[in-house]
Amino acid sequence: MELLSEDPYMVVFHDVIYQSEIEHLSRISEPLLRRAGVVNDDELDDVLLKFRTANGAFLFMDEGSTKDAQLVGRIFQRMKDMSDLQIKDDAFEYLKYDFGGHYVLHEDYFNYTDEEYADDRFATFIIYLNDVTRGGATVFPHVEIAVHPERGKVIHWYNMNPNSLDYEVRSYHGACPVLIGQKIALAYWIHEQDQMFVKPCLQRPLHRT
């Protein structure tokens, strides 16, 4: 584990996935790839698609062969072990960025105002599945950090402050354009309500008398 930032919390893990697993992921994902959109883009119009130029496919625990499900399950277990957070074994997104592929600066949290959709994105995982010759870095301008894609590298950060549950505005980030080659990665978003029994309750500042 490599600590990139303590406040806001941001870490990198190295060598977390085997080459054989990457090849397996590619075999089951490539036939499913479709143009990846952004959340709340029901019509996926041209303007919204310009924000994110990648192809993607969601991989679910209960789909595919037994070996496919076991692979997805192992990756979920590693994310649990790395984060010490509660993770639903539902789905992660396989993403492929070709030449020029990018994702403009954005936040992963939604800041919902409707109680029906109050379960926000607490934290994020990105698992890089290949080396990128040039470009494709994940950048965080508010903390001046750039993470370059390398096969087997994982970047993990919080979108919400784990103590106050305020939105972590410094998690604002984007994916730089791929200049040479491709960038292939897995993305998973850990949700707030799942952490009810694994994270401490809201901690308010102590007032001295």
Q: Considering the domain boundaries, does residue 197 fall inside one?
A: no
pLDDT at 51: 84
CA distances (Å), origin 190, targets 41, 125, 206: 21, 8, 29
Beta strand ranges found along 39-132 (DSSP E):
55-60, 91-97, 103-106, 121-128
| CATH code of 79's domain | 2.60.120.620
Q: Is 4 helix (H, G, I), strand (E, B) or coil?
A: strand
169 in a domain, yes or no? yes
Query: Does 49 map to a domain?
Result: yes
Task: Phi first, then psi: give them for residue 146, nearest 5 degrees.
Answer: -130, 130
Residue 144 domain-assigned (yes or no)? yes
Domain that holds residue 145: 2-192
Q: CA–CA distance from 116 to each of 7, 38, 89, 90, 119 (Å)? A: 31, 20, 22, 20, 8
Position 115 scores a pLDDT of 58
pLDDT of residue 125: 97
- Torsion 175-5-22-58 (CA) sign: negative
The pLDDT tens digits along the chain (209 residues) read 999 999 999 999 999 999 999 999 999 999 999 988 665 545 445 555 678 899 999 998 888 889 999 999 999 999 999 999 998 878 899 999 999 999 999 999 988 666 555 688 999 999 999 999 999 999 999 999 999 999 999 999 999 988 888 999 999 999 999 999 999 999 999 998 888 777 766 555 444 44
Q: Is residue 128 part of a domain?
A: yes
Is residue 208 a part of any domain in this protein? Answer: no
* pLDDT value, residue 208: 47
Residue 75: what are its φ and ψ, rounded to 5°? Answer: -65, -40
Report how many domains make up the chain: 1
> CA separation (Å) from 10 to 5, 16, 52, 55, 154?
5, 17, 23, 26, 11
Task: Confirm whether 90 is domain-assigned.
Answer: yes
Q: Is residue 53 part of a domain?
A: yes
The two tokens of residue 1 are 């584990």
Q: What are phi and psi of 114, to 5 degrees?
A: -90, 125
d(CA 184, CA 59): 14
* DSSP label at residue 176: P
Amino acid at 162: P
> Rounded to two decimals, what is the model's pTM?
0.88
Q: Which tokens in the block code for residue 87?
A: 């993770």
Q: What is the pLDDT of residue 163?
A: 81
